[in-house]
Amino acid sequence: DAKTTQPPSMDCAEGRAANLPCNHSTISGNEYVYWYRQIHSQGPQYIIHGLKNNETNEMASLIITEDRKSSTLILPHATLRDTAVYYCIVRVAINYGGSQGNLIFGKGTKLSVKP
């Protein structure tokens, strides 16, 4: 079973920030938080990941609470193309050159960006 809990759906107005929450209360100290999204009829796409510090890249920002039991993915200016299912995943870091752990997906949050 997935180790994360996400709301099944959310709406966001185009141009506004989309804040997607994720609960991972049983996360271990060596587990990262990853976010992927899946646009309809496509494969999942990596967005961002983090361990304990907040992270930002060209797609999004990731805010992780101090106790690491929850996080929020922020899309600062949502567009219609951001409509997708967003998956929050926790995953243990693998030693360099070792076996890459598989991703355990839940059902994710279906984000609908509306004009």
Partner 1 sequence: DAGVTQSPTHLIKTRGQQVTLRCSPKSGHDTVSWYQQALGQGPQFIFQYYEEEERQRGNFPDRFSGHQFPNYSSELNVNALLLGDSALYLCASNDRRLAAYNEQFFGPGTRLTVL
Point out which residues bind partner 1 (CB under 8 A).
Answer: 2, 32, 34, 41-46, 49, 85, 87, 93-108
Compare residues 66 and 99 and give the one whose CB is closer to partner 1.
99
Looking at the Cβ atoms of 31 and 82, the one nearer to partner 1 is 31
Give the nearest distance from C-beta 78 to partner 1 in angstroms. 22
- Between 43 and 115, whose beta carbon lies closer to partner 1? 43
Closest approach, Cβ 91 to partner 1, in A, equals 8
Distance CA 3, CA 92 (A): 12
Q: For residue 75, what are its two tokens?
A: 């899309």
- Tell me the DSSP string of 52-113: SS-EE-SS-EEEE-TTSSEEEEEETT--GGG-EEEEEEEEE---TTSPPPPP-----EEEEE
